[in-house]
Amino acid sequence: MVHAPTRRELLLASGVLFAWAHMPKLALAEGRDPRLLVIVLRGALDGLSAVPPVADPDWLRLRGDNALQGDGVLPLDAFFALNPAMPNLHRLYRAGQATIVHASATPYRERSHFDGQDILESGLPRVGSADSGWLNRALQNLQPAGRVASNRAFAVGPITPLVARGSAPVLSWSPPRLQPAAGDTAARLLELYRHTDPALAVAIEERRDLARIAKGGGMSMSPQKPGEKPTGPGAATRVYFSEAAGGAAKFMARPDGPRVGALAFDGWDTHVNEGAANGKLALLLAALDGAIAAIETNMGPVWDQTAVAVITEFGRTARINGTAGTDHGTATVALLAGGALKGGRVIADWPGIGDKDLHDGRDLKPTTDLRAVLKGLLRDHLRVDERALATSVFPGSEAVKPMGELV
């Protein structure tokens, strides 16, 4: 029996591509050869900073000096704008190749990262002992048109994340570069594992000490390619995101490559110094924007048949906290990109951000079930049966109808 992932395994699974080894038969029968890449952002994305509601009368009151507005944003429509760190996504949006679904969330309403990620990746309506993920179960309900990629085309990576785990065969590939960890991330992990996993805590502490020694001695803890010199804040993260996403796209673009894949990026827990246009979140969004551009470039001609879904476990608080960051929240945004999309839209049943509008008085209220978005992509892009989506892919979701007209 396949076991549910541990917290240690979730951490090890970051940045690895897990891809289905077959082509979807029904889509091929229609003369299409679709690709779907799911990117999980672990740590919770502040949707209000990523896609600010600049025309909402409560926006400036809510965020004050941290409220992106005016010339500091990339306009989307008369109400929403895009964080200036994402010019590539903005270009795709204007070309009709990107869609944003705002005020969206899974069924989860608490604030634990690990429980939220469990719900996000399992597709179940509540936390439990899941041993498979919704993407793998979707693949189990597709009629395969034959195996396309051999195991020899991939290097075996870390443990398979829950979203791709199950009985459908998947291949794995790891980028050559490890994702850099921020100092606050390492500190939080160290504190967590001192109480729950002392052996891992020792390993984290040793790596932190080595990093300090290396920094003092002018050494580099992150391997670089010959001649490569990433510069500026967040440069290592930008390189890592682009390498991981671009490498995944190269595999998926090949005629004998996989058609469906998933990878994850950590580091989105912006409790401190989230910032507006130049803080931690902007650096992460810039790295994600570069990753999306790398996918577009490396997909080549099959970009026109590609959909990329960027999702996260929940949003962040509507108000800035005392350390210039945001805390765990509820609703956020889902970012969709790809030449297969009917894009150029922000889809939102906007709940408002006045005091009386906020969920629990602190969070953006969810008005769109993320499962509806994912169901729409799986049904219309890959041709997963709608009944299977409601019963086996996302069990207990009969009342959540697939969102139409996404592709």
> Are 376 and 404 a contacting pair, CB within 8 Å?
yes
Prediction pTM value: 0.84
Closest CA to 318 of 309, 330, 306, 310: 330
Q: Is the dihedral of CA 227, 231, 236, 242 positive or negative?
A: negative
Q: Which of 39, 11, 19 shows the shortest CA–CA distance to 264?
A: 39
Same domain flag for 78 and 103: yes
What is the reported pLDDT for 3? 43
Q: Is the pLDDT of residue 259 over 80?
A: yes
The enclosing domain of 374 has a CATH number of 3.40.720
pLDDT band at 336 (very low <50, low <70, confident <90, very high): very high
Q: Name the band, by pLDDT with cuts 50, 70 and 90, for residue 320.
A: very high
Given this model, what pLDDT does residue 131 score?
Answer: 87
Contact call for residues 338 and 403 (beta carbons, < 8 A): no
Please give the pLDDT value at position 185: 55
CB distance 113 to 313 below 8 Å: yes
Specify whether the CB–CB gap between 11 and 237 falls below 8 A: no
CB 25 within 8 A of CB 143: yes
Q: Are residues 91 and 120 in the same domain?
A: yes
User: Across residues 40-63, what is the average pLDDT?
Assistant: 97
348: pLDDT confidence band, cut at 50, 70 and 90? very high
Q: Are 126 and 205 contained in the same domain?
A: no
Give the domain extent around 203.
181-221
Question: Do 200 and 59 share a structural domain?
Answer: no
The per-residue pLDDT for range 238-251, each reduced to its tens digit, is 998 998 899 889 88
Q: How far apart are CA 89 and CA 85, in angstroms?
A: 9
Would you say residue 227 lies in a domain?
no
Number of independent structural domains in the chain: 2
Is residue 228, in this structure, part of any structural domain at all? Answer: no
Domain-terminating residue out of 221, 252, 276:
221
